[in-house]
């Protein structure tokens, strides 16, 4: 196949003639290892100027003065965009046209609503001049007291959580459950604010041509971005051409276009020249979303035998002072464990931060670490092995809805991961194991789950006169491997060998592929591709089977099979004809068709659809110094059909590392008075480094799911975090006997409590 | 202020006149010489995405003033591999899926090449992990990275032995 | 960053002349200075590039058995110098436990000595900081300060010194050679960094124009080679600053500690030499009880500056650990994870 990106391809890394299910290496691999993959900030149109954002260092108040003169006096500075001097917008950036139109700061006023908010943009001939120009603005403020943290104000019940989920869900009789329970685990946990920190900072290279706009910017959802930009600038969406072939990671932060990206477009408009605007790392801690902190109280009541009678999971989350996003943390308790009574409820507090947004497994991650820790606590209270406890409370149907699962191979996940890990024989009591050097050793586990979500996506399939296939879809590759996995599906759907396929993607000029999020991109776009392929093959078949001159004449649509660039009679494989021959005889240069993918509402109402997994972790803890290191992680996941095992392994490992990071490392530290983030960098906002990552094993458990979508795909982008975070935390408890309920687990919590 | 400066970049000697002493090697490569393979992840020496070789040593190009490196020999991701052939570290990154989004990858590869040259890690995965810890990967491709660097190192050693035999 | 005048002097004398103007700053590799300039913390109007000064990049063994390390020797080159690592293993281990391979390849010995605190309030231009702006106040004092100083701090500043390298050095009585307007002088490393007191902005004993040209390790420093370790607790396995660290260097003869050197990192505005603890150890048999007593002595003057009481307990434990491991013997080679508690096995 060909990636339409002047790919210099090393044939050795591509396995021919194999598609779905094959562990092919990445088709964009050569581009990425040679530095030729062009990310947004790598573009440099002629005449380009540099824009740098000046950000507020207060979290709440007003900008009362900006020294624009000083900035403009700096050599090379072209202009300074401020609330008083900016292009007019067609739409209020604070207008709430739809729930996904999050309010953004586009210099509409002098108000500051969080630290690191854009308050001006300096545009200059060089990056150095723009950067210093921004510093020279020396803003003055009227400061108001910032609202910081989970107790900053009165809590209220949010209207919805996540994407339209009810804030409170009740199933069964909670009071009866509490009465029936003979053992109660009642624990309150806290999780910190976290920031996506994709390696690639948000970038915008914008070029206006009249009322047409050409932009290079990383996007997980070009269609959404087009709509938003069109609204803001008052131009038709079709006038906006977005190029986003590669994202340097997104994790949700590039799902919706952010304020700073739009500021880059505004700057280009203001000066009438192409402009590049790239966020500095510190500026990513504010306007591009984050995972909000949570405080979660969870009560799990069981009988003496360890059968759950009730789960009551309550979460307090923060949102911004000016918009609404509510991390659906407690919803993690809806699906995993059977219980006659389940209640989940959320409350929220408004604080002076940027609006929290979707961050890899939003709600699932924050909820999972708490649920899995509490399950571990409940199992321990009952004196039951944590795996046995989970099996005892295995949900045969989705507990809160009573729906059957479309497929659920969780038992196999438990069994295979436990066996591989060597879980059997684990002492029930904590602090029982030490290694040869005297380090405390602990083993913990967690159950992973993530819903099988689909959005809406489209694709266009073409068979050309030379018999080769083309598939076009405006999909997004943020590292999950869309360039490869979707091409694999494309080749199969068109019945061509991989090297006979041209796969076009990563541009808004191609059919809208929806959004790369919710672990649903491969499923959604894969279905669109599958349908587009089927449709174009049907057209070919129609041409052939209705033509007396064809060996396939009379076979009928249902009677042919597409394979290797040929149609074969299903009942007589020897009778076949190549695509090229069919088109040549029909006198056609090409034949094309479109297809779309979306969730099947009927199947969804009938079945609960989730991927599942089991993660087992080993940690070592220094018994005196409290330093913790994960030493082994084994995960088994059942996520429907696996398109590319190599990349699925990578994604699952990556997710598990996020889980490890959640439990042990990452946290944004905010000054409780000023609301400024004190570690808005990568030196002190600790994401795991190579040495933190232990040997990992990922097992994928076969799962055939006829209900989720035509290809049986559930998605693997986010599930890896769930289960893993809890497994690591539970392993720390098992090593030390100390249950830390504040994440990440800090050295002092262990040091001060380890005798 | 015009600052003349002579650099050998990927084997090609270049005479450059800088109009600004603030330009870092990273910004020089990316914004003025169109060598955009080297990435800017943090611009503060905290992520390793900008790793290049200067006089054969891996450094963070974001914390290096260009003007201070007059006369230096610089190798970037664009300068590894030869004649269209991938460098063994590049090939191993593909084979072991040592990346996902690919943004940290040029830095990882340059760091891996630098690390092999330093010869401190040997074939001990733990030492490789430690020696590669200056390169963050938010996608979490670390296992593939470690495997790739180990395999490339062993291939390069074998090739060297064959050549010298 | 602010535009600056860039000068590259040909001699030390020229360098000193160029750096004696207000607003001038020396530039070596720039790994710390450029970071500070990008953050707006340092805004020098002139950079005096000393990287080409002749003769400052050598490691010299002097006739009296001492070692002279030029200020421009790169951290990695020093740590990987086989003879250096053999003679001063805890220093090599400390060097390799700091930052990343890339930064160690660039950072110089002189620059490491001159690196400034990582206190977030120092770095955050919007916060009050007496170091950046004398008299402004210290926002760390009632702020997020779980990692701040527990020794030698004042109401004016509770920041810590971030260097790993300096910790074992200060225990080994390292000497700093300085060239300045008044000529050449020497200073014990211990006297280079200042405690904040009433003048937190005066971070070191250097005067304007002073240039560190070399670091010297006295003859006796080699005597601890067989029993020396650097142990560092941090919040991830690598590429993180110390929460607390300790360097222990022992001379053990006939089952007795003849001489002990102990220093702590991450606890004060300077690398903290624990002389009280050394006195406890001197002459004692190396055992856990005496290590614990030494640890208590080392932290006897400690008090929390905020939410960081745990560091006093942790520091005592790390002292015990460093002493225990040092007494057990220096590993044959630098551990796979330098400075990490998880490399605590001899020879690992």
pLDDT for the residue A559:
85
| Residue A395 located in a structural domain | no
By the CB < 8 Å criterion, does B116 face chain C? no
Final residue of a structural domain among B79, B97, B113: B79
Residue B158 shares a structural domain with residue B95: yes
* C294-312: average pLDDT: 98
Q: φ and ψ at A213, to 5 degrees?
A: -130, 130
Average model confidence (pLDDT) for chain C?
97
d(CA A564, CA A572): 16
Residue B71: CATH number of its domain: 3.10.20.30
Cβ contact C125–A57 (<8 Å): yes
* Max Cα-Cα span within chain C: 61
Yes or no: say if C234 and A627 are a contact pair by the CB < 8 Å rule.
yes
| Residue A6 located in a structural domain | no
Q: Which residues of chain A have pLDDT under 50?
A: 1-17
By the CB < 8 Å criterion, does B157 face chain C? no
* Residue B6 distance to chain C (closest CA, Å): 15
ipTM over 0.85? The verdict is yes
Cβ contact A625–C126 (<8 Å): no
d(CA C185, CA A698): 61
Q: What secondary structure letter does DSSP report for A270?
A: H
Residue B55 shares a structural domain with residue B95: no
Write the CA distances from A334 to A343, A345, A645, integer angstroms.
8, 11, 29
Yes or no: say if A174 and A341 are a contact pair by the CB < 8 Å rule.
yes
| Nearest by Cα to A514 from A223, A140, A216, A201 | A223
Yes or no: say if A286 and A258 are a contact pair by the CB < 8 Å rule.
no
Q: Which two tokens stand for residue A644?
A: 């590319």
Domains of chain C: 5-52 (3.30.43.10), 224-342 (3.30.390.50)
Looking at the structure of chain B, the number of domains it has is 2
pLDDT for the residue A558:
61
Catalytic residue list contains A618: no
C6, C100, C336 member nearest B21 (Cβ): C6
d(CA B74, CA A79): 35
Yes or no: say if A70 and A138 are a contact pair by the CB < 8 Å rule.
yes
* Residue C137 distance to chain B (closest CA, Å): 27
Final residue of a structural domain among A379, A412, A430: A379
| Residue A139 located in a structural domain | yes
* C242-258: average pLDDT: 98
Yes or no: say if C240 and A744 are a contact pair by the CB < 8 Å rule.
no
Contact residues, chain C to chain B, C-beta under 8 Å: 1, 3-6, 8, 27, 29-31, 34-35, 38-39, 47, 49, 51, 76, 80, 99-103, 105-106, 237-239, 336-338
| Residue A720 located in a structural domain | yes
Yes or no: say if B92 and B148 are a contact pair by the CB < 8 Å rule.
yes
Final residue of a structural domain among A255, A284, A313: A284
Final residue of a structural domain among B58, B79, B100: B79
d(CA A745, CA C203): 34
Chain C residues inside the 8 Å CB shell of B114: 101-102, 105
Cβ contact B60–C103 (<8 Å): yes
Residue A659 shares a structural domain with residue A741: yes
Q: Which two tokens stand for residue A547?
A: 């033509």
Residue of C nearest to B3 (CA): C6
Give the H/E segment covering residue A198.
none
Cβ contact B21–C47 (<8 Å): yes
Looking at the structure of chain A, the number of domains it has is 4
Residue B104 shares a structural domain with residue B43: no
Helices (H), A320-478: 364-382, 386-392, 410-421
Q: How far is CA A256 from the centre of its chain?
A: 12
Residue A256 shares a structural domain with residue A120: yes
Residue B28 shares a structural domain with residue B73: yes
- List the Cα angle A718/A722/A728 in 5-degree steps: 130
Yes or no: say if A727 and A713 are a contact pair by the CB < 8 Å rule.
no
* Beta carbons within 10 angstroms of residue A637's beta carbon: 34
Residue of C nearest to A688 (CA): C236
Residue B29 shares a structural domain with residue B66: yes
- According to DSSP, the residues that pair with A18 across neighbouring strands are none
d(CA C240, CA A290): 23
pLDDT for the residue A100:
85
Cβ contact C40–A135 (<8 Å): yes
Q: Which two tokens stand for residue B43?
A: 């611009």
* Residue B30 distance to chain A (closest CA, Å): 7
Give the H/E segment covering residue B51.
strand B51-54
Residue A551 shares a structural domain with residue A483: yes
pLDDT at C146 over 60: yes
At C259 the three-state DSSP class reads: strand
B62, B64, B126 member nearest C336 (Cβ): B126
Chains that touch B (3 or more CB pairs under 8 A): A, C
Residue B103 shares a structural domain with residue B56: no
d(CA A661, CA A751): 20
Can you count the helices (H) and strands (E) in chain C?
13, 12
pLDDT for the residue A14:
35
Residue B101 shares a structural domain with residue B159: yes
| Residue A1 located in a structural domain | no
Q: Which two tokens stand for residue A88?
A: 């007019």
Chains that touch C (3 or more CB pairs under 8 A): A, B
Per-position b or e across A376-395, b if 16+ CB within 10 A of its CB: bbbbbebebbbbebbebbeb
CB pairs under 8 A between B and C: 100
Chain B residues inside the 8 Å CB shell of A34: 37, 77-78, 81, 86, 90
Write the CA distances from C334 to A292, A437, A470, C331, integer angstroms.
41, 18, 56, 7
Residue B66 shares a structural domain with residue B97: no
Q: Which two tokens stand for residue A192?
A: 């910190």
* Residue B107 distance to chain C (closest CA, Å): 11
Yes or no: say if A513 and A475 are a contact pair by the CB < 8 Å rule.
yes
d(CA A555, CA A571): 9
d(CA A424, CA A422): 6
Residue A448 shares a structural domain with residue A462: no
Structural domain for A70, as ranges: 41-145+201-284
| Residue A392 located in a structural domain | no
pLDDT for the residue A9:
35
Kindly give the interhelix angle for A521-545 and A482-494, rounded to the nearest 10 degrees.
Answer: 20
C3, C47, C238 member nearest B130 (Cβ): C238
| Nearest by Cα to B40 from B7, B21, B64 | B64
Q: Which of A618, A718, A748, A749 is catalytic?
A: A718
Final residue of a structural domain among B50, B79, B108: B79
Give the H/E segment covering residue A142.
strand A140-143
Residue A185: CATH number of its domain: 3.30.365.10
Any idea of the CA torsion for A713, A718, A722, A724, to the nearest 10 degrees? Answer: 100
Residue B105: CATH number of its domain: 1.10.150.120
By the CB < 8 Å criterion, does B121 face chain A? no
By the CB < 8 Å criterion, does B3 face chain C? yes
Residue B68 shares a structural domain with residue B17: yes
Structural domain for B9, as ranges: 3-79
Residue A160 shares a structural domain with residue A98: no
Final residue of a structural domain among A568, A598, A628: A598
Residue B129 shares a structural domain with residue B73: no
By the CB < 8 Å criterion, does B43 face chain C? yes
* B133-149: average pLDDT: 98
Chain C residues inside the 8 Å CB shell of B3: 6
Yes or no: say if A752 and C312 are a contact pair by the CB < 8 Å rule.
no
d(CA B139, CA A694): 15
Write the CA distances from B138 to A253, A292, A588, A727, B63, integer angstroms.
13, 19, 48, 20, 21
A198, A281, A647 member nearest B44 (Cβ): A281
Residue B57 shares a structural domain with residue B120: no
């Amino acid at each position: 196949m060909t990636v339409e990106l002047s790919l210099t391809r090393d044939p050795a890394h591509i396995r021919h003639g194999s598609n779905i299910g094959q562990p092919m290496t990445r088709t964009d691999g050569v581009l990425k290892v040679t530095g030729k993959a062009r990310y947004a900030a790598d573009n440099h149109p002629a005449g380009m100027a540099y824009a740098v954002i000046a950000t507020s260092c207060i979290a709440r108040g007003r900008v009362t003065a900006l020294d624009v003169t000083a900035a403009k006096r700096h050599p090379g500075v072209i202009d300074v965009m401020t609330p008083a001097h900016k292009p007019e917008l067609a739409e209020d950036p604070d207008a709430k046209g739809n729930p996904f139109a999050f309010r953004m700061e586009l210099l509409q006023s002098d108000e500051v609503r969080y630290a690191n908010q854009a308050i001006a943009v300096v545009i200059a001939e060089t990056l150095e001049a723009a950067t210093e120009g921004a510093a020279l603005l020396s803003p003055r403020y009227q400061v108001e007291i910032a609202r910081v943290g989970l107790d900053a104000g009165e809590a209220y019940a949010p209207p919805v959580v996540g994407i339209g989920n009810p804030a409170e869900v009740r199933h069964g009789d909670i009071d009866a459950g509490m009465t029936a329970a003979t053992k109660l685990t009642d624990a309150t946990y806290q999780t910190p604010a976290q920031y996506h920190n994709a390696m690639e900072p948000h970038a915008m290279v914008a070029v206006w041509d009249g009322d047409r706009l050409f932009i290079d910017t990383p996007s997980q959802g070009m269609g959404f971005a087009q709509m938003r930009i069109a609204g803001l600038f008052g131009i038709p969406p079709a006038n906006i051409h977005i190029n986003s072939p590669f994202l340097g990671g997104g994790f949700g932060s590039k799902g919706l276009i952010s304020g700073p990206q739009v500021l880059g477009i505004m700057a280009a408009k203001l000066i009438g020249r192409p402009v590049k605007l790239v966020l500095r790392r510190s500026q990513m801690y504010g306007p591009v979303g984050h995972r909000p902190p949570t405080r979660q109280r969870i009560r799990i009541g069981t009988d003496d035998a360890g059968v759950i009678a009730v789960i009551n999971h309550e979460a307090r989350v923060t949102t911004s002072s000016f918009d609404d996003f509510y991390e659906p943390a407690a919803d993690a308790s809806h699906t995993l464990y059977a219980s006659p009574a389940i209640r989940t409820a959320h409350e929220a507090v408004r604080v002076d931060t940027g609006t929290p947004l979707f961050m890899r497994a939003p709600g699932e991650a924050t909820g999972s670490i708490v649920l899995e820790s509490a399950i571990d606590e409940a199992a321990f209270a009952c004196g039951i092995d944590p795996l046995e406890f989970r099996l005892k409370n295995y949900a045969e149907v989705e507990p809160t809805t009573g729906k059957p699962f479309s497929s659920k191979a969780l038992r196999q996940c438990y069994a295979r991961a436990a066996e591989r890990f060597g879980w059997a024989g684990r002492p029930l009591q904590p602090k029982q194991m030490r290694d040869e050097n005297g380090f405390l050793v602990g083993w913990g586990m967690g159950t992973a789950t993530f819903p099988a979500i689909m959005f809406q996506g489209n694709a266009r399939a073409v068979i050309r006169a030379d018999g080769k296939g083309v598939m076009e879809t405006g999909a997004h590759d943020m590292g999950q491997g869309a360039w490869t996995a979707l091409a694999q599906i494309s080749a199969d759907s068109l019945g061509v060998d991989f090297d006979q396929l041209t796969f076009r993607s990563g541009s808004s000029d191609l059919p809208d592929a929806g959004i790369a999020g919710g672990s649903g991109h491969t499923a959604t776009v894969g279905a669109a591709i599958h349908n587009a392929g089927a449709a174009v093959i049907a057209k070919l078949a129609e041409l052939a089977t209705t033509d007396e001159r064809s060996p396939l004449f009379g076979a009928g649509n249902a009677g042919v099979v597409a394979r290797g660039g040929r149609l074969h009679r299903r009942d007589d494989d020897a009778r076949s004809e190549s695509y090229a021959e069919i088109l040549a005889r029909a006198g056609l240069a090409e034949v094309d068709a479109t297809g779309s993918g979306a969730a099947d509402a009927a199947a969804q109402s009938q079945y609960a659809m989730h991927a599942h997994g089991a993660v087992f972790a080993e940690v070592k803890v220094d018994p005196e110094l409290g330093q913790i290191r994960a030493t082994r992680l084994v995960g088994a996941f059942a996520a429907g059909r696996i398109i590319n095992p190599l990349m699925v392994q990578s994604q699952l490992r990556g997710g598990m590392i996020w889980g490890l990071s959640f439990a042990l490392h990452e946290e944004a530290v905010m000054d409780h008075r000023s609301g400024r983030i004190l570690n808005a960098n990568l030196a002190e906002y600790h994401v795991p480094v190579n040495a933190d990552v232990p040997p990992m094993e990922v097992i994928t458990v076969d799962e055939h799911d006829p209900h989720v979508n035509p290809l049986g795909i559930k998605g693997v982008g986010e599930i890896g975090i769930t289960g893993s975070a809890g497994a690591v935390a539970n392993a720390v408890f098992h090593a030390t006997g100390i249950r830390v309920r504040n994440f990440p687990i800090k050295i002092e919590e262990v040091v001060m409590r380890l005798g | 202020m015009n600052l003349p400066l002579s650099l050998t970049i990927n084997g090609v000697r270049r005479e450059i006149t800088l109009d600004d002493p603030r330009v870092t090697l990273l910004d020089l490569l990316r914004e003025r010489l169109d060598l955009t393979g080297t990435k800017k992840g943090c611009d503060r020496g905290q992520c390793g995405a900008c790793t290049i070789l200067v006089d054969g040593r891996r450094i963070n190009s974001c914390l290096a003033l260009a003007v201070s490196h007059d006369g230096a020999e610089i190798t970037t991701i664009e300068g590894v591999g030869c004649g269209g052939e991938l460098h063994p570290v590049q090939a191993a990154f593909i084979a072991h899926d040592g990346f996902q989004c690919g943004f940290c990858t040029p830095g990882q590869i340059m760091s891996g090449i630098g690390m092999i040259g330093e010869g401190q890690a040997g074939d001990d995965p733990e030492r490789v992990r430690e020696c590669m810890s200056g390169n963050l990967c938010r996608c979490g491709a670390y296992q593939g990275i470690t495997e790739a660097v180990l395999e490339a190192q062993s291939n390069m050693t074998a090739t060297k032995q064959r050549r010298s035999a | 960053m602010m535009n600056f005048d860039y000068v590259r002097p040909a001699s030390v004398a020229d360098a000193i002349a160029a750096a004696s103007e207000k607003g001038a700053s020396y530039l070596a590799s720039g790994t710390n200075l450029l970071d500070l300039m990008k953050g707006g913390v340092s805004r020098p109007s002139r950079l005096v590039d000393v990287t080409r000064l002749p003769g400052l990049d050598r490691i010299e063994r002097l006739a009296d058995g001492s070692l002279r390390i030029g200020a421009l020797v790169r951290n990695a080159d020093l740590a990987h110098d086989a003879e250096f690592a053999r003679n001063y293993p805890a220093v090599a281990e400390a060097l390799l436990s700091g930052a990343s391979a890339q930064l160690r390849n660039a950072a110089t010995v002189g620059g490491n000595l001159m690196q400034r605190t990582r206190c977030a309030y120092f770095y955050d231009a919007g916060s009050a900081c007496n170091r950046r702006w004398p008299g402004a106040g210290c926002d760390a004092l009632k702020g997020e300060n779980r990692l701040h100083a527990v020794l030698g701090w004042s109401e004016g500043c509770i920041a810590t010194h971030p260097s790993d390298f300096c910790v074992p050095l200060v225990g080994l009585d390292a000497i700093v050679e300085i060239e300045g307007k008044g000529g050449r002088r020497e200073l014990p490393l211990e006297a280079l960094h200042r405690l904040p007191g009433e003048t937190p902005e005066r971070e070191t004993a250097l005067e304007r124009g002073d240039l560190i040209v070399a670091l010297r390790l006295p003859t006796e420093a080699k005597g601890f080679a067989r029993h020396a370790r650097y142990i560092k607790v941090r919040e991830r396995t690598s590429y993180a600053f110390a929460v607390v660290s300790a360097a222990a260097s022992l001379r053990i003869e006939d089952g007795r500690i003849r001489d002990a050197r102990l220093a702590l990192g991450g606890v004060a505005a300077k690398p903290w030499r624990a002389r009280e603890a050394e006195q406890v150890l001197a002459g004692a048999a190396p055992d856990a009880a005496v290590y614990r007593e030494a640890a208590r002595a080392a932290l006897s003057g400690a008090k929390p500056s905020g939410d960081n009481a745990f560091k006093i307990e942790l520091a005592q434990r790390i002292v015990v650990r460093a002493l225990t491991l040092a007494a057990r013997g220096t590993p044959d080679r630098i551990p796979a994870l330098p400075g990490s508690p998880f490399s605590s096995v001899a020879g690992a």
